[in-house]
Amino acid sequence: MKEAQLEQFLHYLATERQLSPHTLNNYSRDLLRFLEFVEEHRLAQWADVSARHVRQFAAQIHRQGLAGKSIQRTLSAVRSFYRFLAREQWVEQNPAEAVQAPKASRKLPNTLDTDQITRLLDIPVSDALSARDLAIMELIYSSGLRVSELVGLDMQNLELAEHSLRVLGKGNKERELPVGRKALQALDRWFDYRDQLADYTQPALFVSSRGGRISVRTVQQRMEYWGKRLGITGRVHPHRLRHSFASHMLESSGDLRAVQELLGHEDISTTQIYTHLDFQHLMQVYSGAHPRAQKKDK
């Protein structure tokens, strides 16, 4: 009976919800794992499963090495399945509704150190594409832009005389950012070449070889190309450059609130995730600031 109801749910996902084969495979794998747990605990019907059982199940798959993100997905599948069972009037309650998975740890890209940044931003400019690519990478590192923010920039967003730009971030929130000297120089060089690719009526700051607004995928591909060509360790991509910006700014200034504003984070805890201080720097700050950590004068 339990297997038949599970099959009906998967059929519902495929026909009424029209989920992709990949998503269906995930649902099927996660729910078969749950079915195995239910059978091991000799629960005759889905209605016999309690919230305590679901918590035990989550703990079990956690012990088996399943990552937080995978546990979240599995519990989401169980919750959806019980909503279906309730809709069909096979159960009265959803035992998975209040069960939360352990928070998934966020994996961040490694930063580029200052030597790698110098090598990456010393690319030979010989044509419009290399001039554009250098300006793109300089601007991301200079202002900590998200790649979506970068590709959305128009010419009118730049305030060259003020050394700044206006960017539209997440939630359609606009913020003003400083632009560094090296990035301004790279932009000037890009403007010398830009009319080779784009008509003067094109508002986009950065354009593709066909003259339209550049895409996120093209930016990613070009950065990966330059990373490989210049022998940079690990894959070079926009978020790695943004993360390097944030880390270097925080290491130099120690001003978490300022870095939060520059990155456009709503919550400062997000900035704490994206940035880090090495332990040696923390010890230096502690030793210099804490009254009971300072060495006594001899």
What amino acid positions are annotated as catalytic residues?
146, 170, 239, 242, 265, 274
Torsion angles phi and psi, residue 159, rounded to 5: -125, 80
Degrees to nearest 5, angle at CA 95 with 92 and 97:
105
Q: Which residue has the tokens 């069972």?
A: 85
Helix, strand, coil shares of the chain, percent, nearest 5, are 60, 5, 35
Burial class (CB in 10 A: 0-12, 13-18, 19+), 69: middle
Contact at 8 Å (CB) between 155 and 205? yes
Partners of 174 in the β-ladder: 168
Q: Which of 136, 161, 155 is nearest to 147 (CA)?
A: 136
